[in-house]
Amino acid sequence: MIGGLLDRSDSRVERIVPPSGFTASLTVLSAAAMAFLAVFIGAISMSASRVADDWGAALGDKATIRLSAPAETLQDQIDAVMTIAAQTPGVVGARQLTEDEQRALLAPWFGTDAALEGLRLPVLFDLTLEGDGPDIEGLRRRLQGEAPGAVYDDHARWRLPMVRAADRMSSVAGVSLVLIAAIGAAMVALAASASLSANRQIIGVLRLVGAKDVFITRIFVRRFTLRTIGGAVTGSIAGMIVVVLMPGGGGFIDLRFAGAGWLWPALVPLAGGGISYMATRYAAFRRLKELS
Amino acid sequence: MIGGLLDRSDSRVERIVPPSGFTASLTVLSAAAMAFLAVFIGAISMSASRVADDWGAALGDKATIRLSAPAETLQDQIDAVMTIAAQTPGVVGARQLTEDEQRALLAPWFGTDAALEGLRLPVLFDLTLEGDGPDIEGLRRRLQGEAPGAVYDDHARWRLPMVRAADRMSSVAGVSLVLIAAIGAAMVALAASASLSANRQIIGVLRLVGAKDVFITRIFVRRFTLRTIGGAVTGSIAGMIVVVLMPGGGGFIDLRFAGAGWLWPALVPLAGGGISYMATRYAAFRRLKELS
Amino acid sequence: MVEFDSVSVRFGDRALFDGVSLSLPAGSFHFVTGPSGAGKTTLLKLCYLEMAPEAGEVQLFGKETERLGRDEVADMRRKIGVVHQDCRFVDHLSVSENVLLPATATGVDIRDVDDNMSQLLAWVGLSRHRDRRPPELSGGEKQRAALARAVILSPDLILADEPTGNVDWEMSLKILDLLVELNKSGKTVICATHDLSLIRQAKTRAPARVLRIRERGIELSGADL
Amino acid sequence: MVEFDSVSVRFGDRALFDGVSLSLPAGSFHFVTGPSGAGKTTLLKLCYLEMAPEAGEVQLFGKETERLGRDEVADMRRKIGVVHQDCRFVDHLSVSENVLLPATATGVDIRDVDDNMSQLLAWVGLSRHRDRRPPELSGGEKQRAALARAVILSPDLILADEPTGNVDWEMSLKILDLLVELNKSGKTVICATHDLSLIRQAKTRAPARVLRIRERGIELSGADL
Ligand SMILES: Nc1ncnc2c1ncn2[C@@H]1O[C@H](COP(=O)(O)OP(=O)(O)OP(=O)(O)O)[C@@H](O)[C@H]1O
Ligand SMILES: Nc1ncnc2c1ncn2[C@@H]1O[C@H](COP(=O)(O)OP(=O)(O)OP(=O)(O)O)[C@@H](O)[C@H]1O
Ligand SMILES: [Mg+2]
Ligand SMILES: [Mg+2]
């Protein structure tokens, strides 16, 4: 395939089918639009899956137990919490926060210089989770029985739907990419078919003088593949520029490529060329069969 | 225009130009893709501008002053803060939070039953802002001079870039809509031109027997406009379905239409028809001039 | 009806006509003859405004044609019936639809010309073929269909470019008869042909005159041939 | 070379050929004649495989043609030169490019046939027009260009459909001479024409035979006409 496309074109052969400016522009424009979309939606997909990963990781990783208890039962309850945490599957670590850490957490409210000594702060435990985390209902029941002043907080109440959303967004974007590829293929195939139809008289003449299908097909395939690649390169560059210029701001908005993501805009025209090659070949052979 | 399109078509006239399946499918497909995008990106634009408005309003509306001071100067500093707030342009109201309100704010940390009585909490003031809010630097300097324990917090530190991002997102989406309309118009015009070119022999025959430009143009314009509307309706419906099925989750992700936004998917095919009518007419008259 | 005033046509460096003046009155019957490539088709193209002369003036129906817009050209063509040398049809329409095309394209009510069409198709021997598409016709059948289309709206001026190029002698005479009949009913007829025996036949039936294309000019031959 | 074995062709309810058998040996020269619509073009189409018979067999170059794939048909066509009745060209290519098309389409090196082309174009009087595009040619010039294209690769079988339909008598004789010459160099020639005087002329120059298409059949006429 690559060889065939990169061959120094035989201009005498190329000239046989007229360049038909409008179908050509239409193909280039469609390819550019599809490549632009592919780059853009690829960026969305990558960013959404990044967000889902990050938040999902944070979410699966950490939980807090907050314990407020009268002084007389406090140490018992602290011990109970540590025991429960150690025995609960899905929890791999539990650590009581130091006073300094708690003070840092409260700084926004009391200022750093506030005297917290006089205050009976709740005790905070930082849990490290693994996998899907603990069985939350079971854990809560056990805490209620053995350390009634303890409250389990898995940070997930508000984040879970967003992680799910990011995940779904990422799959919607992935499906969209497949759709874009399919629509792009359909567009190129239709444009090539329209071109073959418009040139059926020339094809008739070529057949009259003994041209074979491969000869005719090659002209169209070569032409449409090159046009698609040209359009896709333009569209990819435009898409890349827009993505780079997109506002940052974290979360769902930060579409900018990261790491290997930068390869994506380069991959799109290549994929476009491949899709176009297949689509045009298929369309050409089909049409030629019909025209015979 | 509408009249011309809805006329019961004269099948004898319609038949003169062959229906050319491939250009037709290509036009319908392009129109559908463009309408889909228009609906989708319209939803993004509306959602982003909704977010920007909401957050922008919240951001411009509220600020907090937090005062921690030794008991002996506390009342002086409270008075100073209230005076400064009243004198600062851009601040339209200042209110000291009640103890209950403060307790509610601290509940996540201490539980609702925690005894806050023994604790010297900082005093919180809720400011209502107007317009662009106060001159922050000036306000901070004045607070430092007259109530050194007071800290101004305008909540904006982390939200401002997001609001800006949402705003930019909304304008990017708006520009994209214009681009989509332009690309759609170009696609229809190119498809119509390609169709006119492919049918130049028929046009030659029509001219030979005395057909005028309007006669020829009408066939193509009617056909392409109807095709575009057909494609756009399909694309809009698809876009609407996808948008409705999109994950919610608030913020940038909630693309679902609200209120008058539901009109958007209905508007898109109408606009598509209008664009197609203009684009095809323009293309047809231009091509006919060239072909003469 | 058709008037040329010092008309010049050149293709590249070759002058085909150089200052040709002609005046073909309404109701006349002219043959155009000359060797292949002499300019017969070009002469007819000048008459139906497919082509404009490089210099000089062409007048049709008493009107100057030089600065006509596309719509005015269309108006004029409605009064001209043309049999193109390579019979141009709309290939996916049936023969009868093609023959009716001048009516369809100019908004004439089909019912007014339907009888006319049936008669015409019978005349040129294509009644059986009326629902065929042109590519399914033989060469001669196409020429006859083109002739039927040219005269369907009974135009004032009939231009026929080799209408007998692909038909046998018998059919040639039949076509000639049709042209003669049209001429007798008052139409102006100009017919290009390279077939001298056809012209000889014509002279026995109508006062036809011959325009012979010579080096850069056109010469009106008399009755002798 | 060309063999028909009880070939039948019907269009709709009309049988054009009904069990026709023929055998045209290599090196022979045949005219096909008959009134317009008799089936001359159809006969030639059967010979270059544009059409398959409804019943019966067509053999070309000693090979059965019924179940040939598209590529095999292409291979066979390379050995056949066709002058189509309505001269099909690639309109945006120059005349010389069109004449060279059989070489281009089959991968023959252009340099090997370039001289041949120049000679041929001179022969048919189109040297001046070699860089023109076909729509800029006159009817007769197109036919001559089509003839040049048909013989450029010196095919074994030459099929000419009314090659003199649009040219004057002098040029007709010139084209006839070319066909006779090709036949003398061993090519098989089949030429459809409705021009009986051309056939009479041909008989004075070569042992041409005549296939006359009659009601549903083909009849080989002898020397008399
Ligand atoms: N558009 C054009 N551009 C260049 N040359 C042209 C064009 N049209 C015609 N010619 C040339 O002008 C000459 C006259 O052409 P025309 O078609 O009028 O001849 P004709 O008398 O009709 O010949 P024939 O009997 O073969 O049809 C020819 O040599 C042709 O090649
Ligand atoms: N594809 C087709 N479908 C239907 N009928 C056809 C088709 N091709 C040819 N015919 C009919 O078959 C008959 C023979 O056609 P053909 O073209 O062989 O005639 P011809 O002898 O070449 O006539 P001419 O001298 O006018 O060219 C004609 O009546 C024609 O209408
Ligand atoms: Mg001519
Ligand atoms: Mg024929």
Residue having the nearest C-alpha atom to atom 7 of ligand 2: C136
pLDDT tens-digit map of D150-197: 999 989 999 999 998 888 888 899 889 989 999 999 999 999 998 888
Q: Name the token pair of C162.
A: 């080799």
Residue having the nearest C-alpha atom to atom 28 of ligand 1: C37
Helices (H), chain B: 2-6, 11-14, 21-61, 71-87, 99-110, 136-146, 156-198, 200-208, 213-245, 264-291
- Please answer whether residues A198 and A20 qualify as being in contact, where contact means their C-beta atoms are separated by less than 8 angstroms: yes
Residue C42: CB within 6 Å of ligand 1? yes
| Pairing state between β D209-214 and D29-33 | parallel
| C44 is a domain residue | no
pLDDT at position D159: 95
Sheet holding C29-33, edge to edge: C80-83, C157-161, C188-192, C29-33, C209-214, C217-221
In total, the C-beta contacts within 8 angstroms joining chain C to chain D are: 76
Q: Do B253 and A23 touch (CB under 8 A)?
A: no
- Poorest-pLDDT segment among A34-38, A155-159, A288-292: A155-159
CA angle A141, A143, A149 (to 5 degrees): 125
Sequence-distant contacts of A162-165: CB under 8 A, at least 24 apart = A162/A55, A162/B249, A162/B250, A162/B251, A162/B253, A163/A51, A163/A52, A163/A55, A163/A56, A163/A59, A164/B247, A164/B249, A165/B247, A165/B248, A165/B249, A165/B253
Q: Do C36 and D169 touch (CB under 8 A)?
A: no
pLDDT at position B1: 47
Nearest in space to B159 (alpha carbons), one of B54, B47, B46:
B54
Is A20's pLDDT higher than 90?
no
Smallest CA–CA separation between C165 and chain D, in Å? 5
Domain of C137 in residue numbering reads as: 89-154
Ligand 2 centroid – CA D146 distance (Å):
21
Is A3's pLDDT higher than 60?
no
Is C106's pLDDT higher than 60?
yes
Residue C144: CB within 6 Å of ligand 1? no
Smallest CA–CA separation between B168 and chain C, in Å? 50
pLDDT tens-digit map of C178-216: 899 999 999 999 999 988 889 999 989 888 899 999 877
Ligand 4 centroid – CA D41 distance (Å):
4
Cα end-to-end distance, chain B, whole Å: 26
Select the highest-mean-pLDDT range: A112-121, B93-102, C29-38, D163-172. C29-38
Task: Sketch the domain layout of chain A as residue ranges.
Answer: 2-56+163-291, 69-148
Smallest CA–CA separation between B280 and chain C, in Å? 20
- Which mutation among C95, C141, C171, C172 tests ligand 2's pocket best, with the greatest number of atoms within 8 A of CB? C141
Residue having the nearest C-alpha atom to atom 17 of ligand 2: C138
Is B242's pLDDT higher than 90?
no
The nearest alpha carbon in chain D to C39 belongs to D138
Q: Name the token pair of A175.
A: 């499906």
Give the model's confidence band at B9: pLDDT under 50 very low, under 70 low, under 90 confident, else very high: low
Ligand 3 centroid – CA C36 distance (Å):
7
Q: Do D104 and A16 touch (CB under 8 A)?
A: yes
User: Looking at the complex, does the CB of residue A70 fall below 8 Å from at least one CB of chain B?
Assistant: no
Smallest CA–CA separation between D108 and chain C, in Å? 32
User: Looking at the complex, does the CB of residue B136 fall below 8 Å from at least one CB of chain A?
Assistant: no
Give the model's confidence band at B106: pLDDT under 50 very low, under 70 low, under 90 confident, else very high: low
User: Looking at the complex, does the CB of residue A111 fall below 8 Å from at least one CB of chain B?
Assistant: yes
C40 contacts on D by Cβ (under 8 Å): 138
Q: Name the token pair of D49.
A: 């495989």
| C189 is a domain residue | no
The nearest alpha carbon in chain D to A214 belongs to D71
Ligand 3 centroid – CA B151 distance (Å):
98
Q: Name the token pair of B21.
A: 């399946």
CA distance C154 to D205: 47
A165 contacts on B by Cβ (under 8 Å): 247-249, 253
pLDDT at position B290: 84
φ, ψ of residue A122 to 5 degrees: the values are -70, 155
Is C75's pLDDT higher than 60?
yes
pLDDT at position D152: 92
Q: Which ligand is closest in space to the CA of residue D39?
A: 2
Neighbours of A198 (CB within 10 A): 23
Classify residue C200 by burial, with Cβ atoms within 10 Å: 0-12, 13-18, 19+.
exposed
Q: ipTM of the assembly?
A: 0.81
Could you please report the per-residue DSSP string of B79-117? HHHHHHHHHSTTEEEEEEPPHHHHHHHHHHHH-TTS--T
Question: What is the tally of structural domains in chain D?
Answer: 1
| C129 is a domain residue | yes
pLDDT tens-digit map of D98-135: 999 999 998 888 888 888 899 989 988 899 999 999 99
- List the beta bridge partners of residue A91: A129
Q: Name the token pair of B75.
A: 């009342």
Residue C39: CB within 6 Å of ligand 1? yes
Is A100's pLDDT higher than 90?
no
Question: What is the average per-residue pLDDT within B215-229?
Answer: 91
Could you please report the per-residue DSSP string of A257-283? --GGGGGHHHHHHHHHHHHHHHHHHHH
pLDDT at position A180: 87
Q: Name the token pair of C194.
A: 């390279």
| Numbered residues of chain B with Cβ closer than 8 Å to any chain C Cβ | 12-13, 15-16, 18, 201-202, 204-213, 215, 288-289, 292
Question: What is the average per-residue pLDDT within C114-135?
Answer: 90
Residues measured by CB to lie within 5 Å of ligand 4, the ion: C 138-139; D 40-41, 85
Residue having the nearest C-alpha atom to atom 22 of ligand 1: C41
CA distances from C88 to A52, A218, C106, C190 (A): 66, 31, 18, 19
The nearest alpha carbon in chain B to A114 belongs to B68
Is B51's pLDDT higher than 70?
yes
Coil, helix or strand for D29? strand
CA distance B78 to B84: 10
The one-letter amino acid code at D147 reads L
Smallest CA–CA separation between B39 and chain A, in Å? 15
D40 contacts on C by Cβ (under 8 Å): 138
Residue having the nearest C-alpha atom to atom 3 of ligand 2: C136
φ, ψ of residue B46 to 5 degrees: the values are -65, -40
Q: Which atom of ligand 1 has the smallest separation from the CA of C213?
A: 21
Q: Which ligand is closest in space to the CA of residue D133?
A: 1
The interface residues of chain B toward chain A in range 214-253, judged by CB-CB distance below 8 A, are 242, 246-253
CA distance D122 to D112: 17
| D38 is a domain residue | no
pLDDT at position A183: 87
Question: What is the average per-residue pLDDT within A35-63?
Answer: 78
| C10 is a domain residue | no
Q: Which ligand is closest in space to the CA of residue C51?
A: 1
Question: B260-283 burial by CB neighbour count: b if 16+ within 10 A, else e?
Answer: ebeebbeebbeebbbbbbbbbbbb
Interhelix angle D169-184/D139-151, rounded to 10 degrees, is 0
Ligand 3 centroid – CA C205 distance (Å):
25
Smallest CA–CA separation between B199 and chain A, in Å? 8
CA angle C36, C38, C39 (to 5 degrees): 115
pLDDT at position B187: 86
Q: Which helix (H) or strand (E) holds C161?
A: strand C157-161
Q: Which atom of ligand 2 has the smallest separation from the CA of D34?
A: 21
Classify residue B99 by burial, with Cβ atoms within 10 Å: 0-12, 13-18, 19+.
exposed
Interhelix angle A21-61/B21-61, rounded to 10 degrees, is 40
Is B8's pLDDT higher than 90?
no
pLDDT at position C222: 55
- Poorest-pLDDT segment among A137-151, A199-213, C31-45, C50-64: A137-151
CA distance D30 to D24: 8
Question: B109-122 burial by CB neighbour count: b if 16+ within 10 A, else e?
Answer: bbeeebeeeebbbb
Give the model's confidence band at C151: pLDDT under 50 very low, under 70 low, under 90 confident, else very high: very high
Mean pLDDT of chain D: 89
Q: Do D37 and C140 touch (CB under 8 A)?
A: yes
Residue having the nearest C-alpha atom to atom 7 of ligand 1: D136
Residue D137: CB within 6 Å of ligand 1? yes
Q: Do A288 and D70 touch (CB under 8 A)?
A: yes
pLDDT at position C95: 95
Coil, helix or strand for B22? helix
Classify residue C68 by burial, with Cβ atoms within 10 Å: 0-12, 13-18, 19+.
middle
| D16 is a domain residue | no
Ligand 3 centroid – CA A157 distance (Å):
87
Give the model's confidence band at D223: pLDDT under 50 very low, under 70 low, under 90 confident, else very high: very low
Best mutation site among D84, D89, D95, D101 for testing chain A: the one with the most A CBs within 10 Å? Answer: D101
Q: Do D36 and C141 touch (CB under 8 A)?
A: yes
Q: Name the token pair of A189.
A: 């195939």
Ligand 3 centroid – CA A30 distance (Å):
44
Smallest CA–CA separation between A203 and chain D, in Å? 9
- Poorest-pLDDT segment among A12-16, A187-191, B207-211: A12-16
Nearest in space to D107 (alpha carbons), one of A15, A200, A212:
A212
Give the model's confidence band at A140: pLDDT under 50 very low, under 70 low, under 90 confident, else very high: confident
- Poorest-pLDDT segment among A154-158, A172-176, B239-243, D86-90: A154-158
- Quote the DSSP letter at residue A123: E
Question: What is the average per-residue pLDDT within C121-139?
Answer: 90
Question: What is the average per-residue pLDDT within B93-105?
Answer: 80
| C146 is a domain residue | yes
Give the model's confidence band at D146: pLDDT under 50 very low, under 70 low, under 90 confident, else very high: very high
Q: Do A209 and D105 touch (CB under 8 A)?
A: yes
CA distance C187 to C180: 9
| C140 is a domain residue | yes
Give the model's confidence band at B254: pLDDT under 50 very low, under 70 low, under 90 confident, else very high: low
For chain A, counts of helices (H) and of strands (E): 10, 4
Is C16's pLDDT higher than 50?
yes
Residue having the nearest C-alpha atom to atom 11 of ligand 2: C137
Task: List chains touching C (3+ CB pairs under 8 A).
Answer: B, D
Helices (H), D78-195: 95-99, 101-106, 110-123, 139-151, 169-184
Mean pLDDT of chain C: 89
Strand ranges inside chain A, DSSP E: 62-67, 91-96, 123-129, 150-153
Ligand 2 pocket list (CB less than 6 A): C 129, 132, 136-141, 166; D 11, 16, 34, 36-42, 85, 194
Q: Do D104 and A202 touch (CB under 8 A)?
A: no
- Quote the DSSP letter at residue A197: H
